[in-house]
A and B are shown apart, each in its own frame.
Chain A
Amino acid sequence: GGAMSFLKRFPPPAEGVRHQQPDTEAVLAGRTLGAGTLYIAESRLSWLENSGVGFSLDYPTISLHAVSRDLNAYPWEHLYVMVNAKFEEEESKEAPMAEGEEEEDSDDDVEPIAEFRFVPSDKSALEAMFSAMCECQALHPDPDDEDSDNDYEGEEYDVEAHELEQGDIPTFYTYEEGLSHLTAEGQATLERLEGMLAQSVSSQYNMAGVRTEDSIREFEDGMEVDIAPVVAGQFEDAEVDH
Chain B
Amino acid sequence: MEVSHSVKERTIAENSLVILLQGLHGHITTVDLRDESTATGRVTNVDAFMNVRLVEVTFTDRQGTVSRLDELFVTGRNVRYVHIPDEVDIRATIERQLQAIHRVRYFGGRDKGRKEFPRAKHK
The reply to whether B77 and A145 form a contact with Cβ atoms under 8 Å apart is yes
What B residues does A124 contact at CB under 8 A?
none
- Measured between beta carbons, the chain B residues less than 8 angstroms from A142 are 49, 75-77
The stretch from A20-28, A58-66, A85-93, A229-237 touching chain B is A58-66
Q: Is the CB of A137 within 8 A of B105?
A: no
**B8's contact among A145, A147, A152, A170, by CB below 8 Å, is which?**
A152
Chain B: interface secondary structure? mixed
Number of interface residues of B (CB under 8 A): 49
**In-complex Cβ contact of A70 among B14, B69, B116 (8 A):** B69
**B109–A68 contact, CB under 8 A?**
no
B113 x A174 contact (CB < 8 A): yes
Instruction: Say what secondary structure dominates the interface of chain A.
Output: loop
Is A66 a contact partner of B57 (Cβ separation < 8 A)? yes
21 contacts between A and B (CB under 8 A): A64-B33, A65-B73, A66-B70, A66-B71, A67-B70, A73-B67, A73-B68, A100-B65, A111-B34, A137-B73, A142-B49, A142-B77, A144-B77, A147-B16, A150-B48, A165-B121, A167-B98, A168-B119, A169-B102, A170-B116, A170-B117
Chain B positions within 8 Å of A, measured between CB atoms, are: 7-8, 10-12, 14-16, 33-35, 47-49, 51, 53, 57, 59, 61, 63, 65, 67-78, 95, 98-99, 102, 105, 109-110, 112-114, 116-121
A interface with B by C-beta (< 8 Å) = 62-70, 72-74, 80, 84, 100, 102, 111, 113, 126-127, 130, 133-134, 137-138, 141-142, 144-145, 147, 149-150, 152-153, 156, 158, 161, 165-170, 172-174, 176-177
